[in-house]
Amino acid sequence: MRRRVVVARGLAAASALSAAALGWRSRASSQGGGAGDAPLDALVIGAGLAGLACAQRLRAAGRRVLVLEARQRLGGRIWTERSQGLAIDLGASWLHGMANNPLYPLLTRELGLPVLPSDGLGQITVGPDGRRWDGARHERAEAWLAALVARAEQQGEPDQPLSALLPPRLSPDQRFTLIADVEHELGAAPGAIAADAPLGDGQPLLGGDALVPGGLDQLVRHLAQGLEIRLAQVVRQIHNSPQGVRVTTASGAVYQARGLCCSVPLGVLKAGSIRFEPPLPAAKQRAIETLGMGLLDKIVLLFPERFWDARGWLRNDGPEPGLWSEWVDLTALIGRPGLMGFNAAEVARRVARQSDGAIVSSALAQLRRCYPNAVIPEPSAVRITRWGDDPFALGSYSFAAVGSTNAMRQELGRRWQGMVLAGEAISPAFPATLQGAYLSGQHAAQSLLSLWGA
Ligand SMILES: Cc1cc2nc3c(=O)[nH]c(=O)nc-3n(C[C@H](O)[C@H](O)[C@H](O)COP(=O)(O)OP(=O)(O)OC[C@H]3O[C@@H](n4cnc5c(N)ncnc54)[C@H](O)[C@@H]3O)c2cc1C
């Protein structure tokens, strides 16, 4: 999610955070579920923001918690790439809605970290003919989109696709604005988005956005402090009963506890990568199937020097709609000349199937189109994401797909026997965001504590 425009409303590499560094003390045996050991109060599946927030809240209440994480790193969809002395966020980048985002005071006041407000950054759009859009043309296109969004929010139905509210013919500027401000925002095409939630189904994000110099893994490190975490534990089965929970991993390890928070992404739940025994109740299963998992992919290109003039956003309304249509200048954030480009939805899926070399060539071709008079060298460093192929994400973030309602997120967050689901997709207030994941993890912890009478 990049939220460049608000239309109508307002790990030192994580692998360095090894289990040993975090003071791992397992109370569950890797075979047979810890017979003879004192039982754990809770297992938390997933060491993203939701899982870590849940585990911290339980730990603060004096409970014994073990976090099981499939990857060799913490953070999940927070993925700060640290090489060449840089910190570049390849998953989430922005703190959205600083005025009602609990992570903003946590980062700035508690951790004392600086943030880089990103509202009001300049933007330049280069049209298909190579000419640059002027301000008035931007304003017209965005006023059109604001009107469409307002109408969709008032008149749209959850069972209707947003595309049904579009005029039969879109002007090129309207089509580009729809791609840049809706398709990229939700990671999905208007044909897949529920008409009543054109910009998402949560509460408004207030107070502008900010980037975090130094990387969002600083937040992950903070939230992981003092927790017992075991990496490389791919959970395959969760057995859930009123007496307790039992978890089996791909390597056959078995863990048992009184309760469990499962914070794997919606994409993983959709794929059925984890078997629930007994199966999830029908209402939860229906919510999982109906809510959408969007896709946004990034490329980061570092260059010896800046050849671009856009201090902020470069928008590329190129010949192929949606391909590398947005770029953000990273120079102020990372202190080196760099650009981050985005693809979303079907375009992102298509690009992800190409080789790294072909992806870089296609990105450079678009930059050369935008700057025909510049000599653009090969980038000195490249990072490419493929979030849709990542087996522990299977997409970037959830969106209100046709047929889904915000109540489905609430349904997913309701405890079922000893288990509660958490994660951005389960947050009715702030789905698809960092704060949504964080708050849903805290909510899951509270739900387990209430079950135990704490
Ligand atoms: C490209 C991109 C850009 C984004 N931009 C923004 C942004 O700018 N601002 C914003 O607010 N949000 C953004 N988001 C969304 C944000 O990253 C997520 O909402 C948030 O990080 C989700 O946290 P989570 O804890 O719910 O899930 P995750 O962080 O995905 O954590 C789930 C964890 O479960 C683990 N897991 C999965 N399967 C298993 C298994 N079988 N066994 C054990 N563990 C498992 C995963 O490895 C992962 O660590 C972006 C996301 C992406 C991908």
CATH of the domain at 245: 3.50.50.60
Q: Which two tokens stand for residue 439?
A: 């708050």
User: For the purposes of burial, counting CB atoms within 10 Å of the CB of 237, is it exposed (0-12), middle (13-18) or buried (19 or more)?
Assistant: middle
CA 404 to centroid of ligand 1, rounded, Å: 21
The verdict on residue 138 lying in a domain is no
User: For the purposes of burial, counting CB atoms within 10 Å of the CB of 451, is it exposed (0-12), middle (13-18) or buried (19 or more)?
Assistant: middle
Q: Please determine, for residue 290, whether its predicted confidence score (pLDDT) is greater than 80.
A: yes
Tens-place pLDDT, residues 245-282: 999 999 999 999 999 999 999 999 999 999 999 999 99
Of all protein residues, the one whose alpha carbon is nearest to atom 21 of ligand 1 is: 77
Domain count for the chain, please give it. 1
The verdict on residue 242 lying in a domain is yes
Q: Is 423 in the pocket of ligand 1 (CB under 6 A)?
A: yes
Which residues contact residue 131 at a Cβ distance below 8 angstroms, ignoring those fewer than 6 apart? none
Residue 30 has what pLDDT?
A: 37
pLDDT band at 285 (very low <50, low <70, confident <90, very high): very high
Residue whose tokens read 């089996």? 248
Residue 135 has what pLDDT?
A: 81
Q: Is 343 in the pocket of ligand 1 (CB under 6 A)?
A: no
Q: Which ligand 1 atom minimizes the distance to the CA of 440? A: 26
Q: Is 46 in the pocket of ligand 1 (CB under 6 A)?
A: yes
Q: Is 47 in the pocket of ligand 1 (CB under 6 A)?
A: yes
Q: Please determine, for residue 12, whether its predicted confidence score (pLDDT) is greater than 50.
A: no
C-alpha to C-alpha distances, 362 to 91, 310, 369, 398, nearest whole angstrom: 21, 20, 11, 27
Q: Is 78 in the pocket of ligand 1 (CB under 6 A)?
A: yes
The verdict on residue 1 lying in a domain is no
Alpha helices in 6-161 (DSSP H): 49-60, 103-105, 135-155
Tens-place pLDDT, residues 52-99: 999 999 999 999 999 999 999 999 999 999 988 899 999 999 999 999
CA distance 16 to 22: 10
Q: Which ligand 1 atom minimizes the distance to the CA of 273? A: 41
Q: Please determine, for residue 14, whether its predicted confidence score (pLDDT) is greater than 50.
A: no
| pLDDT averaged over every residue in the chain | 91
For residues 325 and 179, the answer to whether their CB atoms sit within 8 Å is: yes
C-alpha to C-alpha distances, 206 to 6, 10, 103, 439, nearest whole angstrom: 10, 6, 13, 16
Of all protein residues, the one whose alpha carbon is nearest to atom 37 of ligand 1 is: 392
Tens-place pLDDT, residues 116-153: 998 877 888 999 888 888 788 889 999 999 999 999 99
Q: Is 93 in the pocket of ligand 1 (CB under 6 A)?
A: yes
**What are the φ and ψ backbone dihedral angles of 209, each rounded to 5 degrees?**
-120, 160
Of all protein residues, the one whose alpha carbon is nearest to atom 50 of ligand 1 is: 92
CA 48 to centroid of ligand 1, rounded, Å: 6
Residue 84 has what pLDDT?
A: 82
Which residues contact residue 4 at a Cβ distance below 8 angstroms, ignoring those fewer than 6 apart? 121, 123, 180, 181, 184, 313, 326, 328
The SS3 assignment for 388 reads: coil
**What are the φ and ψ backbone dihedral angles of 62, each rounded to 5 degrees?**
85, 15
Of all protein residues, the one whose alpha carbon is nearest to atom 53 of ligand 1 is: 396
Of all protein residues, the one whose alpha carbon is nearest to atom 12 of ligand 1 is: 433
Tens-place pLDDT, residues 189-234: 999 999 999 999 999 999 999 999 999 999 999 999 999 999 999 9
Q: Is 336 in the pocket of ligand 1 (CB under 6 A)?
A: no
Check whether the bond before 105 is cis (ω within 30° of 0).
no
Q: Please determine, for residue 442, whether its predicted confidence score (pLDDT) is greater than 60.
A: yes
Residue whose tokens read 């903070």? 222
Residue 2 has what pLDDT?
A: 56
The verdict on residue 428 lying in a domain is yes
Lowest-pLDDT range, 22-31, 129-138, 182-191? 22-31
CA distance 4 to 199: 12
The verdict on residue 41 lying in a domain is yes
> Which H helix or E strand runs over 239?
strand 235-241
Testing ligand 1's pocket by substitution, the residue of 1, 4, 67, 291 carrying the most ligand atoms inside 8 A of its CB is: 1
Q: How many residues does the chain have?
A: 454
Residue 119 has what pLDDT?
A: 81
Q: Please determine, for residue 448, whether its predicted confidence score (pLDDT) is greater than 60.
A: yes
C-alpha to C-alpha distances, 259 to 42, 104, 411, nearest whole angstrom: 5, 30, 18
For residues 225 and 23, the answer to whether their CB atoms sit within 8 Å is: no
- Per-residue pLDDT, averaged over 10-20, amounts to 32
Rounded to 10°, the helix 434-451/406-413 angle is 40
> Which H helix or E strand runs over 338?
strand 338-344
What domain range includes position 258?
Answer: 14-76+217-291+403-451
Q: Is 97 in the pocket of ligand 1 (CB under 6 A)?
A: no
Q: Which ligand 1 atom minimizes the distance to the CA of 424? A: 26
Lowest-pLDDT range, 20-34, 240-254, 383-397, 430-444? 20-34
Calculate what percentage of the chain has a pLDDT beyond 90: 85
The verdict on residue 421 lying in a domain is yes
Half-sphere exposure at residue 195, Cβ-oriented, CA atoms within 13 angstroms: 16
Q: Which two tokens stand for residue 386?
A: 């493929």
pTM higher than 0.85, yes or no?
Answer: yes
Testing ligand 1's pocket by substitution, the residue of 11, 77, 297, 396 carrying the most ligand atoms inside 8 A of its CB is: 77
Q: Is 437 in the pocket of ligand 1 (CB under 6 A)?
A: yes
The verdict on residue 167 lying in a domain is no
> Which H helix or E strand runs over 327?
strand 326-329
CA distance 323 to 325: 5
The verdict on residue 287 lying in a domain is yes
Q: Which two tokens stand for residue 381?
A: 């460093």
Q: Is 70 in the pocket of ligand 1 (CB under 6 A)?
A: yes
**What are the φ and ψ backbone dihedral angles of 108, each rounded to 5 degrees?**
-85, -45
Lowest-pLDDT range, 89-103, 229-243, 299-313, 417-431? 299-313
Q: Please determine, for residue 178, whether its predicted confidence score (pLDDT) is greater than 50.
A: yes
Check whether the bond before 372 is cis (ω within 30° of 0).
no
Residue 34 has what pLDDT?
A: 40
